[in-house]
């Protein structure tokens, strides 16, 4: 069900990208947009993990530096049936974690120093199992493609607006009507793309929670971790605004930005309380409550 929904949402996002390209440059614009999407996703596929890790100055952790951390990840990877990913630590006060990589054979998990400070070993194990769930489900590649296409839609819509505003289109498409149409495209296209991206991200978070709980065998451990991380996120939003790149917020295990009602409406994550409730229900099914 999740896979079908993701495919449909990615298809909708790609279709929107082509439509914007057609509105910007007709049939030729749509073709250019298509090839542009192919090139962008090629680079996203091969280099997104290195870009994100370098963005945060993540340092790979050797076995000698943290044998206990390697042992946890190694055990979880074995239980998940995937190769052990590389382990990175990000020097960041905001407690969070994320996974990256194009497939299970080329993956990495990263934890912040903040999360190591507030979670006990069982809770951290639940978080790492969640991230391995993302790797097993190949969510990182999906979210990277969604983010890349979404960003391109915003860029094309902006190009269409400024081109029409300064007379870059022919006479039939210029004038007040053309400018108003481009303005609406400029405003609505990025919003529509963001909504689709959020739908993809939220669906995958629920799936990773379930997969992580099954991998670790302890839904309650992840539930307790999410509760702590949610509380910390609410307290540290000003810090997150300095330390976290908004373009990577969808990769984090919890949304690091806790703002007003509008911010919550456009959150890349489902409500943490709903995630916790689902984990509690799973714990009941496993006879742990």
DSSP string for residues in 6-48:
HHHHHHHHHHHHHHHHHHHHHHHHHHHHHHHHHHHHHHHHHHH
Across the range 82-103, mean pLDDT stands at: 93
The average confidence (pLDDT) of the chain is: 80
Residue 231 tokens read as 């509380």
- The more confidently predicted of residues 164 and 37 is 37
User: CB atoms < 10 A from the CB of 125, how many?
Assistant: 23
Confidence check: pLDDT of 179 > 60: no
Known active-site residue 131: yes
Q: Hey, where are the domains in the chain? A: 2-285
pLDDT band at 39 (very low <50, low <70, confident <90, very high): confident
Instruction: Report helix angle 2-55 to 175-216, nearest 10.
Output: 90
Q: Looking up tokens 């481009």, which residue turns up? A: 182
Per residue in 186-245, pLDDT (tens digit) is: 566 666 666 666 666 777 899 999 999 999 999 999 999 999 999 998 898 888 888 887
**pLDDT for res 219:** 96
pLDDT band at 19 (very low <50, low <70, confident <90, very high): confident
The percentage of residues in the chain with a pLDDT greater than 90, rounded to a whole number, is: 40
**pLDDT for res 251:** 82
Catalytic one of 131, 205, 230, 243: 131
User: Left, alpha or beta for 101 (phi > 0: left; psi -120 to 50: alpha)?
Assistant: left
* DSSP per-residue string spanning the chain: -HHHHHHHHHHHHHHHHHHHHHHHHHHHHHHHHHHHHHHHHHHHHHHHHHHHHHHTT-EEPPTTT-HHHHHHHHHHHHHHTSPPPEEEEE--SS--EEEEEEETTEEEEEEEHHHHHH--HHHHHHHHHHHHHHHHTTHHHHHHHHHHHHHHHHHHHHHHHHHHHTT-S-TTT-HHHHHHHHHHHHHHHHHHHHHHHHHHHHHHHHHHHHHHHHHHT-HHHHHHHHHHHHHHHHH-HHHHHHHS-GGGGGGSSS-S---SHHHHHT-SS--HHHHHHHHHHHHHHTT--
């Amino acid at each position: 069900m999740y896979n079908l929904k993701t495919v449909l949402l990615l298809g909708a996002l790609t279709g929107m990208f082509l439509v914007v390209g057609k509105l910007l440059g007709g049939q030729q614009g749509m073709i250019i947009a298509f090839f542009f999407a192919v090139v962008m996703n090629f680079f996203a596929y091969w280099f997104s993990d290195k870009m994100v890790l370098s963005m945060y100055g993540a340092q790979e952790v050797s076995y000698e530096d943290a044998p206990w951390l390697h042992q946890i990840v190694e055990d979880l990877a074995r239980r998940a049936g995937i190769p052990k990913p590389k382990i990175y630590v990000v020097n960041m006060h905001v407690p969070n974690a994320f996974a990256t990589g194009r497939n299970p054979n080329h993956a990495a998990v990263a934890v912040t120093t903040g999360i190591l400070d507030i979670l006990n070993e069982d809770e951290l194990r639940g978080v790492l199992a969640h991230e391995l769930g993302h790797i097993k489900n190949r969510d990182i590649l999906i979210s990277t493609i969604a983010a890349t296409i979404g960003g391109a839609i915003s860029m094309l819509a902006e190009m269409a607006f400024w081109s029409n505003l300064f007379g870059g289109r022919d006479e039939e498409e210029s004038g007040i009507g053309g400018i108003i149409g481009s303005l609406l495209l400029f405003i609505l296209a990025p919003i529509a793309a963001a909504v689709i991206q959020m739908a993809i991200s939220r669906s995958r978070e629920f799936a990773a929670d379930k997969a992580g709980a099954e991998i670790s065998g302890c839904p309650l451990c992840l539930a307790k971790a999410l509760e702590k991380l949610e509380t910390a996120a609410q307290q540290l939003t000003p810090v997150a605004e300095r330390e976290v790149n908004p373009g990577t917020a969808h990769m984090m295990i919890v949304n690091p930005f806790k703002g007003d009602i509008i911010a919550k409406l456009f959150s890349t994550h489902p409500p943490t309380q709903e995630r916790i409730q689902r984990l509690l229900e799973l714990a009941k099914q496993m006879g742990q409550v």
